[in-house]
Amino acid sequence: MTIDRRSFKVGIIAGVFLVSGIIAGIVFSSRLDWLPSATSAPAETAPPVIGATPPNFVPVVKAVMPAVVNISTTRLVKQGGQMSGQFMDDPFFRQFFGEEFFHRFQIPRERRENSLGSGVIVDSAGYIVTNNHVVAKADEIKVLLNDKREFTGKVVGTDPKSDIAVIKINAKDLPMVPWGDSDKLEVGEYVLAIGNPFGLNQTVTQGIVSAVGRANVGIADYEDFIQTDAAINPGNSGGALVNARGELVGINTAIFSRSGGYMGIGFAVPSNMTRSVMDSLIKGGKVVRGWLGVSIQDVTPDLAKQFGLKEARGALVSEIIPDSPAAAAGIQSGDVITAFNGKTVESTSILRNTVAQTPVGKTVKVELLRDKKTVSVEVKITEQPKDVAQTNDETVQGDGKNTALAGVEVRNLTAEIARQLGLPAGTAGVVIAGVEEGSAAEEAGLQQGDVITEINRQPVRNIGDYKHLSAKLTKQGSTLLLINRQGRKLFIAIQP
């Protein structure tokens, strides 16, 4: 049989294509098993992840919650007073109204005021940290533990200037929360707030650190607050703010609110400040703060240009107190303090808090900018004098001069006074303690309890601002005040 070579070649080529097609079909069919069916939903693409995956907080809560306690306080308040006058001695009126009526007005009655807060066990021997305003003026303190045991608390010491208090219960081997380093806390970190809001024991809320180093909030005298959006409500005061590792980084203290409830802004005293205050209270029953001996002000952009700073930061020294550590070290008026003990000074509040927490007797390095040149000096920190420590309680009387503010008596607005006046947290200024009858201020409508927040459109944050601005007033010029009256802001013009 004769084979056509051309036909043979064509057959071979066709066979090769046939075999290749079969193999390709098998491979394609097997790959179809890896793909979603035509009727299934398209696969979702995972979004990019920035940073770490949110941690599981269950182990943290289980470890911390037993050391967060409920604090309830009782205070006896006397009501009523002595009825006097001719009617008390009139037999007819006594017979008509009865002896019980007169007896009720003669003898002051007592009423119990109860309040709730939180606390954190920081020592297994029974030491508990809370807020000063939780236990202030309390006649009885009860501490309820997570395991339902109840103890009577004894105040070890209080510090209204930082709103921190330490109490102790008679117990041993208690669960405790380890201290964290609040200086290492960063904005954006996860935090948990644990406490007893509205009396709801052992409540946990989660959020992030919104800001650090918040000052001039008007809650306490020494402010370096951690701001968080973890829900904090009345009753959370004194509770724990912990990081994702279960370390105590702050003591929940206050909220910024126009309604009295949570509005997304809460403040906590940093753990480093809390621990320093606690140690002083336990050792000596009072807080010993360091002192540098300077008057300082924040650096504005205009001042930064004048003093050769690239950025508006640091603390500008305006005055040196004689015989102070600063005077001994050679610090001068006009110096800009840029670093203290290795810590960068961003503002006056940071310097003030850092100096206050520096151990008395310690020698620290202070970096200055003087005449646009960097200078370093060493300063030995001493204890803050009593007269300096008490300046925040200072009262300024009307100076008697024929100015718009003559006859007006003011004092610093403390956190306690703000609460009594029903003002929201964060209100700053000076509160009017008295207005002289017949003065221009009284005629303009200024009242006791008003809070002056501005004088001639310049902010008034404290007694120092008030003194500085009121000293500029003239006998003939009118004065424009911005006041806060029970949460309502008003402008008042006073003509001397």
**Given pLDDT bands bounded at 50, 70 and 90, which one contains residue 34?**
very low
Instruction: Please give the pLDDT value at position 312.
Output: 86
- Between the ranges 101-105, 133-137, 178-182, where is the mean pLDDT highest? 178-182
Instruction: Please give the pLDDT value at position 363.
Output: 94
133 annotated as ligand-binding: yes
In this chain, the answer to whether the domains covering 182-284 and 392-494 adopt an identical fold is: no
Percent of the chain with pLDDT over 90: 34
Query: Is pLDDT at 20 greater than 60 in this prediction?
Result: no
Q: Where are the domains of the chain?
A: 63-168, 182-284, 290-383, 392-494
- Domain 182-284 in CATH 2.40.10.10? The answer is yes
Instruction: Please give the pLDDT value at position 49.
Output: 53
132 annotated as ligand-binding: no
Query: Is pLDDT at 315 greater than 80 in this prediction?
Result: yes
Q: pLDDT tens, 43-64?
A: 455 555 555 566 789 999 999 9
29 annotated as ligand-binding: no
Q: pLDDT tens, 152-204?
A: 999 999 998 889 999 999 999 999 999 999 999 999 999 999 998 887 888 99
Maximum Cα interatomic distance, the chain, rounded to a whole number of Å: 157
Query: Is pLDDT at 38 greater than 60 in this prediction?
Result: no
**CATH superfamily entry for domain 63-168:** Trypsin-like serine proteases (2.40.10.10)
Instruction: Please give the pLDDT value at position 48.
Output: 53
**Contact criterion met (CB below 8 Å) for 327 and 366:** no
**Contact criterion met (CB below 8 Å) for 172 and 146:** no
Query: Is pLDDT at 145 greater than 70 in this prediction?
Result: yes
Instruction: Please give the pLDDT value at position 94.
Output: 52
Instruction: Please give the pLDDT value at position 490.
Output: 86
**Given pLDDT bands bounded at 50, 70 and 90, which one contains residue 278?**
very high
**CATH superfamily entry for domain 290-383:** PDZ domain (2.30.42.10)
Q: pLDDT tens, 331-388?
A: 998 899 999 999 889 888 889 888 988 989 999 999 999 888 889 999 999 998 865 5
Q: pLDDT tens, 376-430?
A: 999 999 998 865 554 444 555 554 457 888 888 888 887 667 777 878 766 788 9
Query: Is pLDDT at 89 greater than 60 in this prediction?
Result: no
Reading the block at residue 69, the tokens are 């306690």
Q: Residue 66 corresponds to which amino acid?
A: P
**Given pLDDT bands bounded at 50, 70 and 90, which one contains residue 21?**
low
236 annotated as ligand-binding: yes
Instruction: Please give the pLDDT value at position 486.
Output: 81
Fold for the domain defined by 392-494: Pdz3 Domain (2.30.42)
Instruction: Please give the pLDDT value at position 299.
Output: 85
163 annotated as ligand-binding: yes
Query: Is pLDDT at 8 greater than 60 in this prediction?
Result: no
Reading the block at residue 378, the tokens are 């060493």
The catalytic residues are: 133, 163, 237
Instruction: Please give the pLDDT value at position 286.
Output: 85
Query: Is pLDDT at 102 greater than 80 in this prediction?
Result: no
Q: Is the pTM of this model over 0.85?
A: no
Q: pLDDT tens, 425-477?
A: 667 889 998 888 888 888 888 988 899 999 988 888 888 788 888 888 887 77
